[in-house]
A and B are shown apart, each in its own frame.
Chain A
Amino acid sequence: MPVITYRQALNDALAEELERDGNVFLMGEEVAEYNGAYKITEGLWKRFGDKRVIDTPISEAGFIGLGVGAAMMGLRPVMELMFWSFAYVAYDQIINNAGCVRYMSGGLINCPLVIRGPANGGTNVGATHSHTPENFLANTPGLKVVCPATPADAKGLMKAAIRDNDPVCVMENTLLYGDQGEVPEGDYVIPIGVADVKREGTDVSLIAHGRAVLTCLAAAHRLHEEFNISAEVVDLRSIRPLDEQTVLDSVRKTHRAVLVDENKPFCGVSSQIATMIQEHAFDDLDAPVQRVCSLDAPAIYSPALETQQLPTADRIIQKVLAIS
């Protein structure tokens, strides 16, 4: 199986879908002639031309709204936000229009739109560029949210998102773009709403999404090596729809859960997972559900501190040891 970067996996997914369906087009700031601020769309403008790969002015509300309107008409826009943090100036378009138009029209309209871009802290760019709005977006019935952690998931989920007939928010991570991993060849599509057990274990379930999955895998390795604790790592992959069954199956097996989330703790994704576990698997628990989130402050600039603000393997290990 070829080993490629997360960035290349996304690029391949976009290229394959552009090739497959003439209704697919890419649009965003610097996606065409500049080859993408993070080079996710590198080479695509040259290959597919002005009609299919389109640079926009810096007008997130305007061009995201344009994408919603075009999707209502049956096109399949793939809109890049240079950072998901910039979605905040386009929220009306995303929440009210993409998220609610199907409902308000009584099902007469659907919106096959993809909005994609990085949503992560950890790059020392301060609070305005470090938001992780998956919890806000998943709070809107009508939107779907996926957060791939590996190159294979990035490709499979991106292709599924483009083919989906509902609006899908794809949250990538600039810290992962250079990561390498095996990606199946051919038309590799991962259904949205299916979690993945990234490491099997018996003593505790570490449940995460996005880059936090990799932090969990590092913690699980050390838990095994240093403490002889067998940790299972569940990668949610999709926030909404949510693969509740895989999470509950894991908790019923290990009887302990530590939820790891680069979101802030208040009403973060892990809050939803925690309430779901206590509602459906309370009797299976041998210990209270624990959470490791970003420290509850705006993203700090200082590189020395931001590393500590995001969930670390050390903090995960401490939480696991506290309930083991």
Chain B
Amino acid sequence: MSVTRAEKPKKTGKNPVDYAKAPINADLTPEQKLGFLADMLRIRRFEQASLKLYQQGKMGGFLHLYIGQESVAVGTLALMGENDHAITAYRDHGHALVVGMSMNECMAELLGKATGCSKGKGGSMHFFAPDKNFWGGHGIVAGQTPLGLGIAFALKYKGLKGCCLTYLGDGAVNQGVFHESLNIAALWDVPVVYIIENNQYSMGTSLARSSAIKSCLAERATGYDMDWDIVNGENLYEVRAKTWDAMQRAHEKCRPAILEIDTYRYYGHSVADANAKKYRKPEEIEFYKQNHDPITLWENRLKEEGIADEAVIKKLDDAAKKEAAASVQFAEDSPFPELESVFDDIYYEVDMGTESGKTGRHFFND
């Protein structure tokens, strides 16, 4: 499956291979295809609504928007089966919504409300839903990469046929712990699939200024005897087909892989990114919006296939907007956590009132 650097496809918006015919795509129903569109629209409308709240000063900290990258989360996470798991970094809203977390709990978390998915204790970067096999939401660049390894290790240990989709950004590939994880994954045949969402900028530092190998990040896998591939992230069919290949290999042979999915973010590293318009030109962003927007491209594809027309798309978009607006209302109406809850959710044994949680003093405030 590996390709050489020279073969890396150019971002033309067209692909020589028709990935729609790949086995994982060939049997998709129109409803499923519309579902992908609905999910991408939901991410975008959710984040646009969250941006408004941020700009109104209703949110603390950082807000790392995923807008422009929606096809990656939708294309990959929709492939998860019962024993497949996922973990990502701090740009996590899209992943959270695709695995099935509700807009309400996510928006409430952004506002630091008690009804948030982490009861207001995690914030934008730290969404979790272990009941949906989603393990966060991690704030330190590449810090989640060995956790994904451990999750996949646990699957193999338990004899389950599954894998852990472990997402990272292009900036994370230069962290040491990622390379330690790659080595262990390949050495021990751990079913982890690393997905580099290459949006071309690690905060304000372009790939050219951050990576010794400039043309391809996934190629680093060759240093660890690991399979790898590059993926045109704006093509949902390609994302699904290539991710499914990697997942199958993880399922059947416990072999890890790196996928580098080319994508683009329209906003800054975070909304607080003051230099967002200095390290790249507004024309560049506009070019991507006009020519490479994953939602527009998928809409066009569905129109070509006769599955959707403007009315159908508008209906889905209106529903996404409505859901996002309702989540804003829910979040704003929700209460903040009580001060007493500060000491909950630190130690399991204390929370559960077990014997172990009762011996000794756990907190030292006075």
Contacts and interface: CB of A to CB of B under 8 A. Distances in A.
Interface stretch (B175-183, B298-306, B316-324): B175-183
Nearest to B150: A69
A57 B187 CA distance: 9
Contacts of A66: 146-147, 149-150, 153, 181, 184
B359 A96 contact: no
A240 B151 contact: no
A72 B135 contact: yes
Interface in A106-164: 106-110, 112, 141-142, 144, 160, 163-164
Given A93-B143, A193-B360, A104 B153 contact: no
A51 to B, nearest CB: 7
Interface string B97-130: 0000000000000000000111111100010111
Contacts, number: 189
Given A70-B154, A72-B151, A109-B128, A63 B184 contact: yes
B346 A69 contact: no
A53 interface: no
Given A59-B183, A70-B154, A104 B136 contact: yes
Interface string A174-197: 000000000000000001111000
A72 B145 CA distance: 14
A73 B346 contact: no
A292 interface: no
A66 B149 CA distance: 6
A73 B126 contact: no
Contacts of A160: 356
B147 A192 contact: no
A67 B150 contact: yes
B138 interface: yes
Interface string B220-249: 000000000000000000000000000000
Contact of A93 (B131, B177, B346): B177
A62 B184 contact: yes
A241 B180 CA distance: 32
Contact of B128 (A61, A108, A242, A272): A108
A281 B157 CA distance: 51
Nearest to B157: A75
Contacts of B148: 69
